[in-house]
Amino acid sequence: MKRSVSAVAVVWEGEWLLFDCGEATQVQVMRAGLHSSRLRAILITHLHGDHFNGLPGLLSTMGLDGREEELVVIGPPGIREYLALLRKLKVVYLAYPVDVREFGPDRAAGAVRVYESPRYSVSALPLDHRVFTLGYRIEERARPGRFNLERALEIGIPEGPLFGRLQAGHDVVLSDGRAVRSLDVVGPPRPGKILAYCTDTRPCRAGVELGSSANLLIHEATFATDLASEAGEYGHSTATQAARIAEAAKPARLVITHISARYPDARPLLGEARSIFENVALAEDLMEFDVQD
User: Which pLDDT score, from 0 to 100, does residue 14 have?
Assistant: 85
The CA distance from 38 to 92, in Å, is: 19
The domain defined by 1-102 folds into Metallo-beta-lactamase; Chain A (3.60.15)
Q: How much is the pLDDT for 234?
A: 97
Domain assignments of the chain as residue spans, ordered by start: 1-102, 149-185
pLDDT digits (tens, 9 = 90+) for 159-190: 999 998 998 889 999 999 999 999 999 998 88
| 2 — pLDDT class (breaks 50, 70, 90) | low
Dump pLDDT digits (tens) for 20-42: 999 999 999 999 999 999 999 99
Residue 189 has a pLDDT of 86
pLDDT digits (tens, 9 = 90+) for 231-243: 999 999 999 999 9
Q: With 0-12 CB in 10 A as exposed, 13-18 as middle and 19+ as buried, what is 106? A: exposed
Write out the catalytic residue numbers: 50
> In the structure, what pLDDT confidence band is assigned to residue 1 with cuts at 50, 70 and 90?
very low
Alpha carbon 96 to its chain's center: 24
pLDDT tens digits, 63-118: 999 999 999 999 999 999 999 999 999 999 889 999 999 999 875 568 999 999 99
Confidence bin at 268 (pLDDT 50/70/90): very high
Measured distance CA(258)–CA(4) in Å, rounded? 9
pLDDT value of residue 255: 98
> Which one-letter DSSP state was computed for residue 143?
B
